[in-house]
Amino acid sequence: MKIMVAIKRVIDYAVKIRVKPDKSGVETSNVKMSMNPFCEIALEEALRIKESGGASEVVAVSMGPAQCVDTLRTGLAMGADRAIHVDYPGSLYPLSIAKILKALVEAEKPSLLLLGKQAIDDDCNQTGQMVAGLLKWPQGTFASKVVLDEEKQVATVDREVDGGLETVCLELPAVITTDLRLNQPRYATLPNIMKAKSKVIKKVTPQDLNVEIRSDLEVVQVTEPPKRKAGVIVSSIDELIDKLKNEAHVI
Amino acid sequence: MAIRAMLAVSRNRSLATAVLSRYRFISTLVLAEHEGGSIKASSLSAVEATKSLGEDNSVSILLAGSGPSLREAAQAASCHPYVSQVLLADSDKFTYPLAEPWAKLLHVVHKKGNYSHIVTASDSFGKNILPRAAALLDVSPITDVIEVSGSHLFVRPIYAGNALSTIQYTGSDPCMLTIRSTSFPVASMSAHSKSIAAAIEQVDLSTFSEDDAVGKSKFVKLSSQDTERPDLGNARIVVTGGRGLKSAENFKMIEKLAEKLGAAVGATRAAVDAGFVPNELQVGQTGKIVAPELYMAFGVSGAIQHLAGIRDSKVIVAINKDADAPIFQVADYGIVGDLFEVIPELLEKLPEKK
């Protein structure tokens, strides 16, 4: 069985982002970029399935500008067998990504497509659901536990939903998106980083895959959220209770 | 208005298109969830959000499931003042909120009704289903909308709420949205229920094909935490504990305090990962987004991922022994002190809830 994992290069989660003065977006030049944390979890899960004998190959894929190769290289250093980079310099929305992923799935024929539940830059939480819809595959979103049964060709997925945990059983092939608690991703070791340099990253373009990139969304402006006005430090519980009661009127 | 639009054509074609599209007929489909015979609060927020899409908006509400509670929910929905039609999909395919049949249902219902907008709440139900349905209809969905600025102009947070993005939808119908419930508060409904109930119509499921993904997923079980406290997403007061609580045993103090205030209990990711509480209590970018009147944070440092989930709270109170903790930058009232001393004192001095 082959597993495909989609990986996105985003601004590192620890960076405090800055909105550009012209309101066209967020400052991304000279900012530390990393693999989206949810994608790391997806890749880790694929690697664990492979290590337990459940998969023969893990293919990492990423779409975007040339620098995505660095992110794929990190994925290879974690343990992915090979990678595919879909080279596209412009901005891509989830619908286009889902179409590209569909084309890659049709070419590579994996039994499982793993993605993070959302990217921490656009916070969309759409791509996995959309590619599952396009492929007509079942989906297991927000997964916190994945159990594969190779004989029956099913995946049992625990999903983090608002009311608690929902368990669903999916026929393979399927799409699974990962939540934070699924696993703790590993660090790439130095020998593996060296080894990753000789692994193959295949480069393709959306045209090669016969995917037309069009967008039905336009970002009008990006602004900073309104600031909360500065608060006060109170010195005692009595003062706090008094303020909550008589100033804020919330208790 | 038509004359004005035609005049504009002679002057400026693009302006004319803008004017025409602004006044184009709006019809909205709201995908709603129901429970125990009534519409869920988050779905009512989705109905509330449709009001901002434009005047003369005819709102249809789609309910699916089976059994008598579905009928009851439909009756309740038909009395909602904004709702002009209730669509009912009665089939055991919709007993559980599986994305495959529900997304297909949205697809089938849209093909018949040609809605300009399809809206649902940005909860785990809506986020699971709506993007899948959008892909089936070949349009880009817009998730987690916090403000509707026009029929095709929306504001949504990006980068964990550290920036706001204004997005224009330029694609074909339907424009598909999930809305953040806390940004569209629902006014008390009892006051203005209408005298003439909206029509309730059965969805024709004869075109509902079994050939694609429907049937490839099965519901196994839902393990939920039974709690008598108010729901975290809708509570008026939320009391949250972080890593500073140090243990699950100590977290009980937070629960006691919540009980006294009639509040919901929340937690940071650190507290969840340390095993103090189950993960459905997590508040933040990857957990629940809350906007209560009062948010009290105990032993919470205030990481940006957590702040993203509480930013819209009316009053934020922070109790932390580290005076430099980032939480104090967003708190309206702060106490620098040991929560193990503060909580017992609060328990003692807080007035009994009404």
pLDDT tens-place string over residues B73-129: 999 999 999 999 999 999 999 999 999 999 999 999 999 999 999 999 999 999 999
Give the range of the structural domain holding residue A19, as residue numbers without chain letter.
Answer: 2-224
Same fold, B25-213 and B237-349: yes
Instruction: Note whether residue A151 is domain-resident.
Output: yes
Q: Which residue has the higher pLDDT, B232 or B137?
A: B137
Q: Report yes or no: A139 at the B interface, CB cutoff 8 Å.
A: yes
What the block records as the tokens of A250 is: 């919330």
pLDDT digit string (tens) for B165-199?
A: 999 999 999 999 999 998 998 876 654 567 678 99
Residue A130, class by beta-carbon neighbours within 10 Å (0-12 exposed, 13-18 middle, 19+ buried)?
A: buried
Answer whether residue B28 shows pLDDT above 70. yes
- List the CATH number of the domain containing A116: 3.40.50.620
Q: How far apart are CA A230 and CA A217, in angstroms?
A: 36
Instruction: Identify the residue among B158, B239, B305 best suited for mutation to test binding to A, counting A beta carbons within 10 A and taking the highest.
Output: B158
Q: Report yes or no: A202 at the B interface, CB cutoff 8 Å.
A: no
- Model-level ipTM above the cut of 0.90: yes
Instruction: Note whether residue A117 is domain-resident.
Output: yes
**Annotation-wise, does B37 bind a ligand?**
no
Any residues with CB less than 8 A from the CB of A113 and at least 6 apart, and which? Answer: A3, A4, A5, A6, A101, A105, A128, A131, A132, A135, A137, A173, A174, A175, A176
pTM for the structure as a whole: 0.90
**Annotation-wise, does B268 bind a ligand?**
yes
Mean pLDDT across the stretch B250-255?
95
Q: How far apart are CA A192 and CA A79, in angstroms?
A: 8
Domain-wise residue ranges, chain B: 25-213, 237-349
Instruction: Note whether residue A246 is domain-resident.
Output: no
Residue in the block written with tokens 């699974």:
A176
Q: How far apart are CA A238 and CA B265, in angstroms?
A: 23
pLDDT digit string (tens) for B274-326?
A: 999 988 899 998 888 999 999 999 999 999 899 999 988 999 999 999 999 99
Instruction: Note whether residue A112 is domain-resident.
Output: yes
**Angle formed at CA B110 by CA B107 and CA B113, multiple of 5 degrees:** 155
Q: Considering only CB atoms, which chain B residues are within 8 Å of A237? A: 335, 342, 345-346, 349
Instruction: Note whether residue A67 is domain-resident.
Output: yes
Amino acid residing at B334: G
Average pLDDT, chain B: 89
Identify the closest residue of chain B to A161 by CA–CA distance.
B124
Q: How many domains does chain A have?
A: 1
Yes or no, beta carbons of B128 and A129 under 8 Å apart: yes
Answer whether residue B210 shows pLDDT above 90. no
Q: What pairing do the DSSP bridges indicate for beta strands B153-158 and B147-150? A: antiparallel
pLDDT averaged per 10 residues in sequence order, chain A, 251 residues: 97 93 95 97 98 96 97 98 96 96 98 97 97 98 96 96 92 96 94 96 97 95 91 94 92 85
In 3D space, the residue among A134, B269, A136 whose CA is nearest the CA of residue A126 turns out to be A134
* Domain at B237-349: CATH architecture: 3-Layer(aba) Sandwich (3.40)
Residue in the block written with tokens 């693009």:
B14
Q: What pairing do the DSSP bridges indicate for beta strands B294-298 and A217-223? A: unpaired
Q: How far is B118 from chain A (nearest CA, A)?
A: 15
Instruction: Note whether residue A24 is domain-resident.
Output: yes
Predicted confidence band of residue B250 (pLDDT cuts 50, 70, 90): very high
According to CATH, the topology of domain B25-213 is Rossmann fold (3.40.50)
What the block records as the tokens of B237 is: 């007061």
Yes or no, beta carbons of B280 and A93 under 8 Å apart: no
pLDDT digit string (tens) for B35-66?
A: 999 999 999 999 999 999 998 899 999 999 99
pLDDT digit string (tens) for B256-278?
A: 999 999 999 999 999 999 999 98
Give residue A230's pLDDT. Answer: 82
Q: How far is A213 from chain B (nearest CA, A)?
A: 12
Number of residue pairs across A and B with CB atoms under 8 Å? 256
Predicted confidence band of residue B24 (pLDDT cuts 50, 70, 90): low
Instruction: Note whether residue A197 is domain-resident.
Output: yes
Q: Which residue has the higher pLDDT, B6 or B273?
A: B273
Instruction: Note whether residue A74 is domain-resident.
Output: yes
Give residue B231's pLDDT. Answer: 83
Beta bridge mates, A149? A154
Instruction: Kindly list the distances between the CA atom of residue B120 and the CA atoms of B42, B207, B279, in Å, as whole numbers in the listed order.
Output: 9, 23, 24
Instruction: Identify the residue among A144, A158, A216 best suited for mutation to test binding to B, counting B beta carbons within 10 A and taking the highest.
Output: A216
Residue A116 in contact with residue A140, Cβ under 8 Å?
A: no
Length of chain A counted residue by residue? 251
Beta strands in A110-231 (DSSP E): 112-116, 139-149, 154-161, 164-171, 174-178, 201-204, 217-223
Any residues with CB less than 8 A from the CB of B195 and at least 6 apart, and which? Answer: none
**Annotation-wise, does B302 bind a ligand?**
yes
